[in-house]
Amino acid sequence: MNVRSLILVVAALLIAVVTAFMARSLMSNRDDGPASPVVQVAIDKKVLVAARPLPAGHILQAEDLKWQPWPEDAVHEAYLPEGEADLADMTGKVVRNAFLAGQPLTRDAVVGPQDRGFMAAVLTPGMRAITVSISPTSGVAGFVFPGDRVDLVVTHEVDRGDAPVLQVAETVVRNVRILAIDQLVAMEPGAPQLGQTATLEVTPKQVEKINVMQSLGGLSLSLRPLADSADTVNADNEIVAARPIDTAPSFTTSSEVTRFANAPRGSRGGASAPRSPTVVVVRGSEATVAQTGAQ
């Protein structure tokens, strides 16, 4: 190896050593420097949110709401933060518009029973409110609460001329929402509350039907199970409120309850003369019984 080659080798080694030393110094300085600050989101606030989908006009119960941690810098002034709202105070109030599960409630979207326009906020768009008289027997012994759904049954008599009066019970409207008992829209759960009136949510046409039902005879409420009357969520994630139904009403006549209902007047206590078979003819909401003439 000549002198020139030896010089080149030594120079290359020196360059490699210097480069390694500089790289080590840079790494050492980076490790000893201040750590990059970690951005932390403060979640020390809780706001009131819907625990499940709530349709417009829904009467709030304790199980409808919950406290949800929320970033402090994202809490809007319209929200209801913990400390400024109480779950117990929210019971019985009504939401003006629909809320999805987890969506924060806002101050202007909740109205209380003492606020002006409360009953109008309770009503589902397109529906009407009507009040009917109830008793401990017709009102399910006080076990019907605001927010429950019932069927409406009318019991009346059908005059058949010379034939005995026919007793008829008809279920005319089903799945009707109770808005209030007397003037209470929220009651203590678990204890019967005997009221004298019930305010119902129905369609405009059903208002007319219920008025006729009350003039025909006695009106009774039949409590429906919760599973048969719940609101639904459609494919667009919109809340669809259950609506009362008045199509295909069912009825029961006295002849279906007792065979003595068709007995001639004055002979119900003893044997009666044979009668020809009868048929029940229903025209709209009126039921009549006609003799077939067959023996």
Cα of 223 vs its chain's centroid, Å? 15
Q: What is the pLDDT of residue 271?
A: 43
Tokens for 242, please give them: 């259950």
Q: What is the pLDDT of residue 270?
A: 46
Residues of the chain falling short of pLDDT 50: 268-274, 295
Q: Over pLDDT 70: what percentage of the chain?
A: 73
| Backbone torsions φ then ψ of 270, nearest 5 degrees | -135, -160
Domains of the chain: 41-122 (3.90.1210.10), 125-256 (no CATH), 257-291 (no CATH)
SS3 52: coil
Q: What is the pLDDT of residue 272?
A: 46
Q: What is the pLDDT of residue 5?
A: 72
Average per-residue pLDDT in the chain? 80
Helix, strand, coil percentages in the chain from 3-state DSSP, rounded to 5: 25, 30, 45
In terms of C-beta density within 10 A (0-12 exposed, 13-18 middle, 19 or more buried), how is residue 35 classed? Answer: exposed
H or E, element range at 239? strand 239-240
Gap between the Cα atoms of 123 and 202, Å rounded:
9
Q: Which residue has the tokens 């009917």?
A: 132
pTM (global) more than 0.85: no
